């Protein structure tokens, strides 16, 4: 996937022991999650003295991540683990969506080259950002909307400093992932952002409430 906001892989192969290896671009900077939690870590390129909360910077970063995800979708690829810690920010304004280790294809013709979504055997990704259809492992619903849900959950973290999904243990957390549903923001979140979040969440499949598979 050759895109300005996707970390490039330069070479693939196997080492002397037969294990797979790859050579990728060296990324220097901080994760978006670090910059959200500690604004002082936000690269100077994104800082704006007129925006002390850095909302405009986070929206700019979010827009670039959306661009990367959209490009991947045009190639039939789902990331499946979109979250602030998987976005790297460089000192010169670089924004890179990284960690494509569990990415899958939505096209059966890609089977054998990359994993295919319908072959997933268990929920994967990060539960705090996981879409309902992934937590329930409903293969027929896993698609671009699954990533869009995670984009919304990522924006949610940037706005609230909290993960979208919470639970007292992994089983409870996955159950809450399956439930999905809207989120009521207080007045600190602009109505347009709240509406955008709701639209992205609604893009993901609406599944019946019920217990997810055992963890």
Q: Which residues are known to be catalytic?
A: 81
79, 103 contact by CB (below 8 A): yes
- 192 phi, psi to nearest 5 deg: -65, -40
Element (H, E) at 65: helix 55-74
Residue 95: strand pairing partners: 89
Residue with tokens 């899958």: 104
Residue 23: strand pairing partners: 11
How many whole angstroms separate alpha carbon 178 and alpha carbon 170?
Answer: 12
Helix (H, G, I), strand (E, B) or coil at 176: helix
């Amino acid at each position: 996937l050759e895109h300005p906001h996707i970390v490039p892989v330069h070479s693939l192969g196997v080492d002397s022991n037969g294990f797979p290896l790859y050579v990728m671009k060296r990324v220097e900077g901080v994760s978006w999650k670090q910059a959200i939690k500690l604004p002082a870590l936000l690269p100077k390129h994104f800082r704006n003295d007129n925006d002390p909360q850095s909302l405009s910077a986070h929206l700019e970063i979010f827009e670039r991540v959306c661009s990367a995800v959209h490009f991947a979708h045009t190639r039939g690829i789902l990331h499946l683990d979109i979250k602030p810690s998987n976005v790297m920010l460089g000192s010169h304004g670089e924004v890179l969506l990284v960690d494509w280790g569990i990415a899958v294809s939505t096209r059966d013709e890609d089977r054998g080259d990359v994993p295919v979504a319908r072959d997933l055997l268990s929920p994967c990704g990060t539960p705090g950002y996981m879409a309902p259809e992934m937590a329930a492992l409903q293969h027929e619903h896993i698609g671009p909307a699954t990533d869009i849900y995670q984009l919304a959950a990522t924006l949610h973290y940037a706005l609230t400093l909290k993960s979208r999904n919470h639970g007292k243990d992994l089983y409870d957390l996955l159950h809450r992932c399956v439930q999905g549903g809207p989120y009521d923001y207080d007045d600190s979140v602009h109505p347009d952002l709240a509406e955008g979040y709701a639209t992205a969440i609604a893009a993901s499949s609406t599944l019946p409430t019920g217990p997810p598979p055992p963890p």
